[in-house]
């Protein structure tokens, strides 16, 4: 399937999930995750109307940027090493993987203007997953007061890879509840209006549970083995 056709299918599924949960489909941004595919394939997503693109490694991001004439809104969605902040900071609008104060301080130091950050939360408690323990998130948000170049735009999580829909759903609910807690703090630097949750396998559930950013790779642009 070409990217435009995939996009249409996904938009329809998002619209249905929104309808089922009483939301407007305009509340959900689609981030095309292009990490597996070529710049040409990423270009097809842009041509189909995708505005937001996501990469999880600095090399992949910088390569795509150097090859594309277009200027999509770039999202950095992968684990970010502190020493890599400098190379990506001027190229991305959102960083979805803020998970420690040392990283926040480096972003704060290197930023030339406010950076929209999402705090990555390990909502499932799986040991293999990155992100803050849900219990530590509000304290962390308060610590970020010392970083004036950081805006806490929202929260991000990855659900476990499982067939058990209830496990996935409860993980997304944890994130939504945390968002409410943070918004109750009424911190000017932490509007926290975004929930980055949902990937190819679970975005419909995520949208039903309040996602505002779905990060879709395989189902939208495919992965290398399918494309080449």
Ligand X SMILES: *Cc1c(COP(=O)(O)O)cnc(C)c1O
Which residues here bind ligand X, judged by CB under 6 A?
Answer: 33, 35, 56, 77-78, 158, 199-201, 215-219
Measured from the CB atom, the residue of 144 and 219 that comes closer to ligand X is: 219
In whole angstroms, the minimum distance from the beta carbon of 202 to ligand X comes to: 9
Q: Which SS3 state, helix, strand or coil, does residue 37 take?
A: coil
Least Å from the CB of residue 153 to ligand X: 16
Distances 207 to 13, 49, 193 between C-alpha atoms, Å: 10, 20, 14
Nearer to ligand X, 63 or 189 (CB): 63
Decide whether 172 or 186 has the Cβ nearer to ligand X: 172
What lies within 8 Å, CB to CB, of 76 at 6+ separation is 54, 55, 56, 61, 88, 92, 94, 95, 96, 97
Give the nearest distance from C-beta 212 to ligand X in angstroms.
Answer: 15
Minimal CB distance residue for ligand X? 217
Structure tokens at 84: 């890599």
- Return the number of the residue (143 or 224) whose C-beta is nearest ligand X: 224
**Least separation in angstroms between CB 184 and ligand X:** 27
């Amino acid at each position: 399937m070409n990217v435009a056709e995939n996009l249409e299918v996904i938009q329809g599924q998002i619209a249905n999930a929104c309808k089922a949960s009483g939301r407007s489909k305009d509340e959900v941004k689609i981030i095309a995750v292009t990490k597996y595919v070529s710049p040409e394939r990423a270009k097809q997503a842009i041509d189909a109307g995708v505005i937001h693109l996501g990469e999880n490694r600095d090399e992949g991001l910088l390569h795509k940027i150097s090859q594309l004439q277009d200027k999509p809104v770039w999202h950095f969605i992968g684990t970010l090493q502190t020493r890599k902040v400098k190379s990506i900071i001027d190229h991305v609008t959102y960083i979805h993987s803020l998970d420690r104060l040392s990283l926040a301080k480096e972003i704060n130091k290197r930023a030339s203007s406010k950076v929209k950050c999402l705090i990555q939360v390990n909502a499932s408690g799986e040991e293999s997953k990155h992100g803050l323990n849900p219990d530590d998130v509000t304290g962390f948000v308060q610590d970020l007061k010392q970083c004036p170049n950081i805006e806490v735009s929202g929260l991000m999580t990855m659900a476990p890879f499982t067939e058990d829909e209830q496990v996935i759903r409860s993980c997304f609910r944890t994130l939504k509840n945390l968002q409410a807690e943070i918004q109750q703090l009424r911190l000017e630097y932490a509007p926290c209006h975004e929930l980055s949750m949902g990937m190819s396998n679970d975005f419909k559930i995520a949208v039903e549970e309040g996602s505002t950013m779905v990060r879709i790779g395989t189902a939208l642009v495919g992965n290398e083995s399918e494309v080449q």
